[in-house]
Amino acid sequence: MSKGYLILQSGEEFEGEWIGAEKEIGGEVVFNTSMTGYQEMMTDPSYAGQLLTFCYPIIGNYGVNEEDDESQGLSVSAVIASDICDEHSHYQAATSFSERLKLAGVPGLKNVDTRSLVAAIRKHKTVEGKLVTEKGKEQISSEWAKRRDMELVDSVSVKSPESFGDGDYHVVLMDFGYKKSILQALLKQHCKVTVVPYYTSLETIKSLHPHGILLSNGPGDPMELKPYFPIIKVLTETYPTLGICLGHQLIALAYGGKTTKMPFGHRGGNHPVKDVLTGKVRMTSQNHGYVVEENSMDSRDFQVLFRNVNDRSLEGMRHVSKPVQSVQFHPEAHPGPSDTAYIFNEFIQQVFTASQEGSPVYVKA
């Protein structure tokens, strides 16, 4: 098995062995602290353009199955791990970890000192990296390519509307890179769901006669989606709306809030979040590199619902008068704890209440 190298923009080098496709690639280097769920992570569209480092030391022991993908294929640019176990022992496994990477054409490195790598990421905050076949290659010293986050969103969004289910309420899911488990959570609530591209016009969405709107997760800097802020604001003023992860950030920005890049993000299934109304702390699944600045939100518009226990960052909010709510974490989990799955229940209840009230704005289509 041939040697490979991860070269950070800071100049640090990490040696490993190639797995998957043996090809050179670059991107932001991030890490996830979850102990399980590597298949869901690799297929999560929010990881598009990133080199994902697994903190847990053994990856691949239960293989890769045909049910737990969060999208149509692998979304990560590359993976970096310590020990890879390709002798899987789960009855649902269809392929090994390394085989899945190779089939998808995604490169990776194993036998990397991931503890030192994570320490380097935490030291440098945001850091770009490249997987290369040789150390000290001439192009490493050349200018690092600038990523266009809009291209990342476009690469993971559907290209035309797709419909699922036939429930009592119709939810339009605006796709910035949605996870399959979000769709499944809505279907469990007996919804009909139409997934539409992120660039779908307001007129087209209205023609679908939705009862509610869900703004999905997705990759990249939310400010690159600025052209769509006016549409998002009108949607929240017209329909009950739930925003998840990137969707949460987009609602905040549509109402004049601000977002900022985090030092190294929240990625894992063990992030404690406090419900400020009840005082209860719930464990959540998260995957984001940007956060809404709480002091940028007008308290006359939004009420804070959740804060992160570790860094007190804003994790959720709701509009003071409209049925609009958003969370930075993933209530559908997969992978992760299901402590906050009730948020989907609350969203559907808002849809039901608004349709029954028959207000001038929130009416049943």
Give pLDDT tens digits along the chain (365 positions): 799 999 999 999 999 999 999 999 999 999 999 999 999 999 999 999 999 999 999 999 999 999 999 999 999 999 999 999 999 999 999 999 999 999 999 999 999 999 999 999 999 988 999 999 988 755 555 556 666 678 999 999 999 999 999 998 999 999 999 999 999 999 999 999 999 999 999 999 999 999 999 999 999 999 999 999 999 999 999 999 999 999 999 999 999 999 999 999 999 999 999 999 999 999 999 999 999 999 999 999 999 999 999 999 999 999 999 999 999 999 998 888 889 999 999 999 999 887 776 544 554 44
In a domain, 182, yes or no: yes
- Boundary-marking domain end, from 115, 143, 171: 143
- Boundary-marking domain end, from 119, 143, 167: 143
What's the pLDDT score for residue 177? Answer: 97
Distance CA 148, CA 126 (A): 16
Number of domains composing the chain: 2
Structure tokens at 2: 């041939």
In a domain, 246, yes or no: yes
Residues 175 and 62 reside in one and the same domain? no
Residues 207 and 189 reside in one and the same domain? yes
> Residue 145 gets which letter from DSSP?
P
The question of whether 330 is a catalytic residue gets the answer: yes
What's the pLDDT score for residue 126? Answer: 87
**Across-strand partners of 236?**
none
Q: How far is CA 211 from the centre of its chain?
A: 24
* Three-state SS at 348: helix
The question of whether 191 is a catalytic residue gets the answer: no
Residues 311 and 279 reside in one and the same domain? yes
The question of whether 332 is a catalytic residue gets the answer: yes
Q: Which of 88, 211, 271, 330 is catalytic?
A: 330
Rounded to whole angstroms, what are the CA distances from 253 to 97, 225, 236? 38, 10, 12
Residues 95 and 159 reside in one and the same domain? no
Which residue range is the domain that position 296 belongs to? Answer: 151-357
In a domain, 29, yes or no: yes
Q: Which of 266, 271, 332, 334 is catalytic?
A: 332
Distance CA 272, CA 248 (A): 18
Question: Domain containing 246 — which CATH number?
Answer: 3.40.50.880
In a domain, 364, yes or no: no
Residues 124 and 185 reside in one and the same domain? no
Rounded to whole angstroms, what are the CA distances from 197 to 93, 95, 153, 228, 237? 32, 31, 10, 12, 20
Q: Which of 128, 245, 288, 315 is catalytic?
A: 245
Selection from 190, 302, 209, 205 nearest residue 253 by Cα: 302
Residues 85 and 187 reside in one and the same domain? no
User: Considering Cα of 62, then 188, then 156, then 231, what sign does the dihedral take?
Assistant: negative
Residues 195 and 61 reside in one and the same domain? no
